Amino acid sequence: HQVPLIISKGSGLPDGGGIRRQYQHVTDLLPTILDLVGVEMATSKGGRPVPAPAGVSFTASMGDVSTASTHPEQYYEQVGHRGMYRDGWSAVVCRKARTPFSEEVWELHNLVEDPTESRNLADEYPEKVAELVEAWERAAWANQVFPLDEGNNVKNLLRPPWNADTEAEARFRPGSPTTERYRSLQLVDSRSFEVEVSLEVADGDRGTLVAHGDQGGGYALYVVDGRLLLAWNGYGCMTEVDGGPLAAGTSSIILAVEAVGNLSVHVDLRVDETVVAGARDLPALTAIAPFQGIDVGIDRRSPVSWTIRERYGTFGWSGILHHVTYRPGELAPDAGQRWLDVLRESGTKYE
């Protein structure tokens, strides 16, 4: 619970260089900033109500070191680890993956006297442990914390029914904004897929056909000096696949990606249905990569290929590009979604 925070406002803050030790939470930052600059929190956006902030401003403590915390209690949960803070007391339990929840033992710490949580007081104050565990349970039900992660990763694999719509064939046109990150990822995550570029190539055409991702990982199709180029950024490890000269009159370019398992993919480049190049056992892109969405006819913001960015900038397509079609295919043989039922059944033993 000890995270340093330095606040600077230029003029207007009393007690410059002072230290405050009141407990506050990250959710208090927005209300505090609004309070400092004198701006009211918006109550609606686009005709829809905006939820009230979960936190509370702590500007009062800036002027009075003795002011009580405005955030007296807070629940925590991350990958099964839980904690409950209330008025200087903290109850925590560290989750050991794939073990029964009933075997867990909560610890208790007095953060006022022991901010580093080096002394477990659970045996001395069992009633305080019970109080905080009950408070955590109430907060968890009120804030959609359940189901807890039992260690089988089921929680991260679950998808709402509408998510299937994001895995259907999709078409994107030049001039469109960068497609939202999650929407883009669902078309390629842990699966085989095809990307088809429909265009009319003329002599001298150059630029980006499609780009998905950034410096942290992604892929892009370019035409550079009349040659087709695939840049595959495997989490910073770049592979370039030369598709050879691109003839005038070309109308279809396809990137075919086969997810073969073990976080690997095979790729082929097809020009007007003819395979012109390929590569095997490239790093599969999943989870947080690509972290940037799909661009058509340009590579905005963080580029897939830094080399291309340095030479050509965002490298807009100079010719006629009709659209880019994504066709999601089969999941990888070892994709987590294939094992969801097995993992769910396995997880029940830990309830």
Give the CATH number of the domain where residue 107 resides: 3.30.1120.10
Q: What pLDDT, on the 0 to 100 scale, is given for residue 1? A: 64
pLDDT tens figures, 53-79: 899 999 999 989 999 999 999 999 998
149 has pLDDT over 90? no
pLDDT score recorded for residue 75? 98
- Looking at the fold, whether 321 and 180 belong to one and the same domain comes out as yes
In a domain, 350, yes or no: no
pLDDT in tens, 156-186: 777 778 778 888 999 999 999 999 999 999 9
Which residues have a Cβ under 8 Å from the Cβ of 186 and sit 6 or more positions away?
163, 166, 167, 328
**How many independent structural domains does the chain possess?**
3
Residues 64 and 76 in one domain: no
Q: When comparing pLDDT for 307 and 286, which is higher?
A: 307
Of 143-152, 251-260, 296-305, 316-325, least confident by mean pLDDT is 143-152
176, 312: one domain: yes
| Non-local CB neighbours of 198 within 8 Å, separated by 6+ positions | 251, 252, 321, 322, 323, 324, 325
Both 226 and 298 in one domain: the answer is: yes
Length of the chain: 351
Q: d(Cα 233, Cα 213) in Å, to the nearest integer?
A: 8
pLDDT digits (tens, 9 = 90+) for 75-119: 999 989 999 999 999 999 999 888 888 889 999 999 999 999 999
The mean of the pLDDT values for the chain is 92
Average pLDDT for 139-159 = 83
**Residue at which a domain ends, from 71, 90, 106:** 71
Q: Say if residue 176 is in the same domain as residue 307.
A: yes
Is the same domain home to 331 and 195?
yes
pLDDT in the model for residue 98: 83
**pLDDT number for residue 15:** 80
CATH number at 244 reads 2.60.120.200
Would you say residue 170 lies in a domain? yes
In a domain, 349, yes or no: no
Domain termination site, one of 50, 71, 92 = 71
Q: Are residues 229 and 315 in the same domain?
A: yes
197 and 301 housed in the same domain: yes
Q: Show the tokens assigned to 158.
A: 């679950």
Looking at 149, 178, 196, which one is the last position of a domain? 149
pLDDT of 244 above 80: yes
pTM reported for the whole predicted model:
0.69
Q: Are residues 215 and 199 in the same domain?
A: yes
Peptide bond just before 290 cis, omega within 30 deg? yes
Judge if 101 and 53 occupy the same domain.
Answer: no
Find tokens 């009393």 and name the residue: 14
Average pLDDT over residues 249-264: 97
Check whether 33 has a pLDDT greater than 70: yes
Is 80 part of any domain?
Answer: yes
Domain extent for 17: 1-71
Scored b (16 or more CB within 10 A) or e, 199-235 reads bebeeebbbbbbbbbbbbbbbbbbbbeeebbbbbbbe
Query: Is residue 169 located within the same domain as residue 102?
Result: no
Residue 104 within a domain? yes
Rg of the chain (C-alpha set)? 27
Q: Are residues 185 and 312 in the same domain?
A: yes
**Residue 190 banded pLDDT, cuts 50, 70, 90:** very high
pLDDT of residue 196: 99
Exposed/middle/buried for 62, CB within 10 Å: 0-12, 13-18, 19+? Answer: buried
3-state secondary structure of 255: strand
